[in-house]
Amino acid sequence: EDVIALRQHGAVDVVQVGYSLVDRSEQPLLEYCEKESLGTFIRTPLSRGAAFGKYASQTAPTFEWGDNRHGMSAETLVEQHRPGLSFRFLWDDTGRSPVQAALRFVLDQPGVTAVIPGMKTIEQLEDDAAAGCLSPLTCLELERCASV
């Protein structure tokens, strides 16, 4: 609705959308953007690690001021990350890292133009970039994701 209203005031070429394996609430917006030939930049495609359960099975760290997770209880963080473990089939025995699998899922969605993953190290940058070189997820993998 916001994009439709914004387009009444002038041309819109690209929309920034939050979307990931564990947060697909903006799927209708992606479909609209694809239909209307609008570009999309996907923010938080890893859901701050929750897309692959980064902190679901370990002690959650304390985050610095300025990080969206600063002040969040360890229990809440673990609970937010637990659903991401349901997607292990995308990286277990596939040759993909969890990050690459989560990014590949987003890149394979109709209506997605580009992703904006966060990274803090060169290793994370390399892991993120490698996702673009991987083959798309299979139809069976995408169907399984839809059922989770």
* pLDDT value, residue 7: 85
Q: How far is residue 110 from each of residues 7, 55, 59, 100, measured CA to CA in Å?
A: 21, 29, 36, 18
86-90 long-range contacts, Cβ below 8 Å, gap at least 24? 86/148, 87/21, 87/51, 87/52, 87/53, 87/145, 87/148, 88/53, 89/141, 89/144, 90/137, 90/141, 90/145
What stretches in the chain show pLDDT beneath 50?
Answer: none
Is the overall model pTM greater than 0.85, yes or no?
A: yes
Residue 75: predicted pLDDT = 82
Residue spans of alpha helices (H) in 8-62: 27-35
Predicted pLDDT of residue 130: 96
Beta carbons within 8 Å of 103's beta carbon, 6+ residues apart? 45, 46, 115, 117, 128, 131, 132
pLDDT of residue 98: 95
